[in-house]
Structure formats: C-alpha cells, structure tokens
Structure 1
C-alpha cells in the first residue's frame, strides 16, 4: 500500500511539474530543473514548445560566464565623480518655458536655447551625448529647478564613481575612489567604497541627466531609442583636480587594477591647460608600477584636437585597456584619421564590420606589438544592441565570459532586475553580419544558443555578443560604466 501511495504521489508531482512546463515554458530552466531534482524523479522533461530566442540566449550566457582563475583583490578608480540629477528632459525643458525648435548640435552650451537645440538633436537620433554648459549662473538656475522638480532623482554620477559603485557590489573586492566627493555624493556611495579624506569637499558637483523614452515626442522629433542627454558646469572634474590625490593614494592602497576616467571633462578648459594636464596624466600613469593594468574609460566628446591628443600624446600606449561606445569610437577614428572616418554618424545600429575595422586599427596602430612599446592590449566596445571585446593575443584570459557578463548586466541594470527577465527584453542585434569591410571578413549568422562569436585577425581576437535590450528601461544612465566594470571584473590579465 505504501509503495502504491509513493508511486501515485510521484506520478501526481510529475504531472504537476509537467503542467508547469506546459503553461509557463519561459520559467527559468534552472528553477524547474532544481524542483524536479529535489523530487528525485529522474531526468527533467523537455519543455513543451520552443523557448524564445531571448530565453535561449540568457541561458547560454549563464552557462558561459565563469570566474577568472586570477581575480582582482583591490581596484582603484578615479577621477571624475558627481551627483546625477535624473529627470525627464522634455518635462524639464517645458517647465523652463522652452519650445521645440530645430535640433542642432552645440559643442559647448552657452544658453537655454543651445540646450533645447542640442537636446532635440540627440533625442531625434536616440543617441547619448554629454556637453559642458559655460554660463555658471544660468546652469545654477537650471540645476536648482531640476533638483526641485517633482520626480527628480539623485544618484551617484561620474564614470569613476559609477564604476566604483559597480565594483563595490562584489563584497570581496576592496575599492578606492578618488574624485571631488561632496556631502550628498558621499552619502550615496556604497559602504564598501573607500574615499581618501583628501577627496572630500564642501560642495557637490551636479550633472543634469535629461532622459527620454523610446517613441517619446516633442514637436516634430521622436526618439527612436530611450537614452539621455547630460550637461554640467563642472570645474573640479573639468580640471581633473583629484588626479594628484588619486596617484598619491595608490602607493598605500596597493591596487592590482587601476581604472581612470574623466579626460572628456577637460573639454571646457583652455587648450594650454588641456595639453598640460594630458602630460601630467601620462606621467602619473607611467608612475604606476609595471604589472598593474590601467583601464581608461572614454566618454562623449566633441573636441577633435583633445581626442587626437589623447590618442597621440602617449595616453593610449600607457593604458592596457579601453572602454568606449559607438559615438566615441567613430569620433576617435575621425579625430585620428582612422578607418571609416568619412562617415559623419552611424545610420541606426553601428555596422559590426566597420566597428571591427576601427577596433583592429586602434590595436594595430597604438597597441602592443613586437615593434612598439605599448601597454594597450584590450578594447571593450559597447553599443545598445551588441558588444565586442578585442584583445591582442596572449595578454588577456576569460574574455568570452567577460563580454557575456558585460552584455548581461546591460539588460539587468536597464530593467532594474536581479536577473534577465526575458519578458522585458528583446533581441535586436543584426541576425547576420560581416566581420570586416576592409578585407574579406567572415559572414556570421547569429545563434542564440551560441551567443558569443569569436574571430581572429592578425594576432587580435574579437569576441562578439548581442545584448538583450530592455523594452521599458528604468534608467539609462551609467550603463556603459556598469558594462565596462562587469567586463573588467570577469577579465584576467596575464602576467608579462
């Protein structure tokens, strides 16, 4: 009788779990396998019906993402930090009494009218941008209105602070952050982030983040993608005031990875100060002990001379790794006469072959080789629908996991979820692409079950993966910084 009851119970439970598979085929497979295993009922049944491409891709990432053999213990990050005031761009500009006119880019914003035109220009493209606002008083008035606006949110801001926050989520990592840290920012920072006393200041630097949703309209403009427009009157970060504090803190902190950002903030400075500061940056990086990799995170820029100086004045050869998005990549190529520099802007999704050509050119022209003394061996490129990690062979390990982890965090952070919610994301990467337009590249067909594609070109390895794009993003700010931090966390630098 007991045997009959046990068999009936097992049969009933098997039927119940089978019904779950039938009714909820997109429930995480790991959860269902765990349930089935706990019942000791043998191998789990195959789900009824095909899983969505998003579900297959997310499951494949989880299987691929493995910890590196040698993990970072102490990470030092500097030198730009601020408080981000996040608000609806259209609502703020309407509250300021502005009306939609003709979109127009401005390298530097001098007035409210410039702000309205630049915001519309990038909103119409669905592209991210960051600009310096030259008029201190006008910016202060706008910042106060934004900060007090209903629904305005205050967050940790600045590439260095955001990257530090992401690293600090890993409690076994010690994180040092140097930058202009005011009282509000200090309050917002993770308890796991150590700030040297010399970095603390009496007032915060505020950056205004004007967000817009996919499909949002203002006048004749309609945003094709959710994104944001950033502007500030930030003199502390613009002069990189905390560079010396950062460098002097490294000796005591003893990091095994250094992350540097904030060079783009110098656009509001004079050419003379830019040249002087870049030389000091190079000297500072050169003083970091050999064997400690330095990652440089780039950000939106409009000054071609400054970008050219960053590329050519020995900044690139002194860093081991770069992080950048599609706008920064194309602007870099335009500023330094690289491949596809005649392209004025990307037409929709950046072409994978063109992106690959520019990444290859950067590493071939400025990366490490037998004939060139350079530390640059790694570039992490991220755009909305896909990422590429390009590395010089022999210097980095675990990059397949790194690019997958970077893409996975883009989907979770944008949707504000712990794991990928396959009902809230969509696969928008190109289904087919060519790996180069300057030579006979390979033709790749995307397979969600094998989401990381690898190819090689003259001693350089490329890892590509699509991104699962959040359909209803909660917040777009800081995605690039989270992506770069996550990719670095899973990366392993091989000793020279």
Structure 2
C-alpha cells in the first residue's frame, strides 16, 4: 500500500509519502537458496556479490537461534570468496533492533560496500554509536547533514581493526529523493565514481516514472542551487552547474561525488527503487 504526501484518510492528512508492505513469504526469510547459490559461486567467479532482501527476516517468527544460524551461513559464504571479489550489502528498512545487531555482527563487517537511503543511514549510525533505531527521520535532509553522517559512519566502521575475513569499508552510497551521494576510498577497487553517481541519479527517475526515456516535463529538481559540504561553520559551498551536474571532490582518504535527482512527478512505482538505483551505480564501478 502506497500513499503520497497530502493523502487524506478520514480526518487525517499524510505529512509524507510512505508505503506499507505485507508478505507471506517463508522462503526468503530463511535464505533457502543460499546453499545452492554457494555451490555455484566458486565456479562462476563473479566480480561482485550483492546481498539484499534481508529485511524479509525482520519480525519473522523464527525458532530460537534460527535467524542467527542463517546469518552465520551467509557470513560463511562471504568468507569462502576470494577477497578480491567485492561484496555489497544493500540496506533496507529494519524495525527489529536485534536483527540490526545481527547484521552488524555477521554481514556489515564483511562488506566492502554499503547502500542505503536517508532513513537507513541515521538508523545504522545510531545503533553503531550505542543508541536505538530512530523511529522517524527527516524525509528531506540537507546535503550537508547526509554528508556529515556518511563521514561519521565511514570513520566508525573503519576505526576498528578488521578481524579474520572482515573487510574495511571502501564504498558508501546513500540515495535520497533529492540527490545521490557516493563516498569511495582512494585507491580501492571502485572506479568511475562520477559516472556511477550520474547513472544512479538517472535510474531513480527512470524507475519511479516507469520509463527508459526521461521526460523533463514529468520531473523537477528539489535540491537547492548550491550546497554546503558540511554543517561545520565556514564549510565550502558548491554551486549546482547545469553543464556539469555531478560534483566530485577529495577529502582525506576518500572521494565524494554528489548528483541531483530529476524527481519524477508522475509516479509509476516506488517499490524496488533503492535496489535498482544501487545496482545502476555498482555496474559502472566494477
């Protein structure tokens, strides 16, 4: 069930667009295909393993220890791969705190790359810092706020010495309604960051509008004409340029690229948007 900003239900008016998903899937929460997948993995020799859909485990009625056992099996699959093969984990909306903690133990430390939206970023950051999952986040966050959260998450995840088989985070992609932001470690396996950010931005419009052709009459920019790179006083402000809409710059050990999104105004679909956007960015970077 999806509803837009301003939707009415009796005396109630929605302040933000949202969706509610109900499923009766007993296979994906158990990752039933994992063993067959693992048996084919070595012979296939992929460039990248993408992990997603683990939100299906959220609030599922597992038996005692069952979910942890399946996540350990997923961890073992990652450990069985050559470390030259990249591993990307695509976040999703999680409400069960214990599941998030399991992901922090069994999946996230073994992933080179993470993808998430503007709600999932503060959720993960809050949990890592010892807090709780945030109940509500800003639906239209400022660029500077997102970039500061990305820097903090990047540094926190890289601050601990990796244990056997764990991977240092080298790529972080945050997709919001208004813009795409990518952070990539200098000298890492990930290439073409500017092009990848642009492709992710265009895919956001194509997926939501349900058309390979981008119609500017059915799109709008909601990003400001310029943005600050941080909330810190005196931070650099970068103007939006129509002739070169993707802005990239280097900081410390990483590069950041940011692109505005042509937000679709005639929505065809939103479900699956994050997965399609992340895949579009990844395909140009391997």
Per the TM superposition, whether the score is higher than 0.5 is yes
The structural deviation recorded for 1:234 is: 2.1
* Counterpart for residue 105 of structure 1: none
Q: TM-score, normalised by structure 1?
A: 0.52
Cα pair distance change 1:247/1:368, threshold 3 Å: farther
* Displacement after TM superposition at 1:331 (Å): 1.1
Aligned to 1:327: 119
Aligned pair partner of 1:317 in 90, 99, 109: 109
Cα distance in structure 2, aligned partners of 1:440 and 1:391: 24
The residue that corresponds to 1:398 in the other structure is 192
Shift of 1:287: 0.3
Equivalent residue in structure 2 for 1:285, among 58, 78, 96: 78
| 1:291 alignment partner, SS class | coil
Q: Of the two, which has the highest radius of gyration?
A: 1
Aligned-pair CA distance for 1:485: 0.8
Pair 1:244 & 2:35 matched: yes
Instruction: Give the equivalent residue in structure 2 for 1:415.
Output: 209
TM-score (norm 2): 0.88
Deviations 1:12-61 (A, max 9, x none): xxxxxxxxxxxxxxxxxxxxxxxxxxxxxxxxxxxxxxxxxxxxxxxxxx
Matching residue of 1:73: none
Give the C-alpha shift of residue 318 in structure 1: 1.4
CA distance in 2: counterparts of 1:427 and 1:229, whole angstroms: 26
- Cα distance in 2 for partners of 1:282, 1:463 equals 30
Correspondence 1:97-116 to 2 at 5 A = none
Work out whether residues 194 and 246 of structure 2, in 8 Å CA contact, stay in contact via their aligned partners in 1. yes
Q: Provide the secondary structure at the position in 1 that maps to 2:27.
A: helix
**d(CA) in 2 for partners of 1:348 and 1:325?**
10
Q: Which residue of 2 aligns with 1:380?
A: 173
Bigger proportion of residues as helix = 1
Report the aligned-residue RMSD: 2.5
Query: Aligned in 2, Cα 1:304/1:342: closer, same or farther, shift over 3 Å?
Result: closer
Query: Would the alpha carbon gap of residues 464 and 284 (structure 1) be closer, same or farther in structure 2, given more than 3 Å must change?
Result: same
Of residues 225, 249, 260, the one that matches 2:51 is 260
Moved more, 330-339 or 247-256: 330-339
Instruction: Tell me, in whole angstroms, the C-alpha distance in 1 between the residues paired with 2:48 and 2:134.
Output: 35
Cα–Cα, structure 1 residues 455 and 412, in superposed 2: closer, same or farther, change >3 Å?
Answer: same
Q: Distance in 2 between matches of 1:315 and 1:436?
A: 29
Query: Equivalent residue of 2:101, what SS?
Result: helix
For 2:82 and 2:182, locate their aligned partners in 1 and report how far apart those are by CA, in whole Å. 25
Distance, in Å, in 1 between the alignment partners of 2:123 and 2:26 is 24
Q: How many Å apart are 1:387 and its aligned residue?
A: 1.0
* Aligned match for 2:145, one of 344, 347, 354: 354
Tell me the distance in 2 between the aligned counterparts of 1:231 and 1:435: 38
Q: Flag the 1:247–1:351 CA change in 2: closer, same or farther, 3 A.
A: same
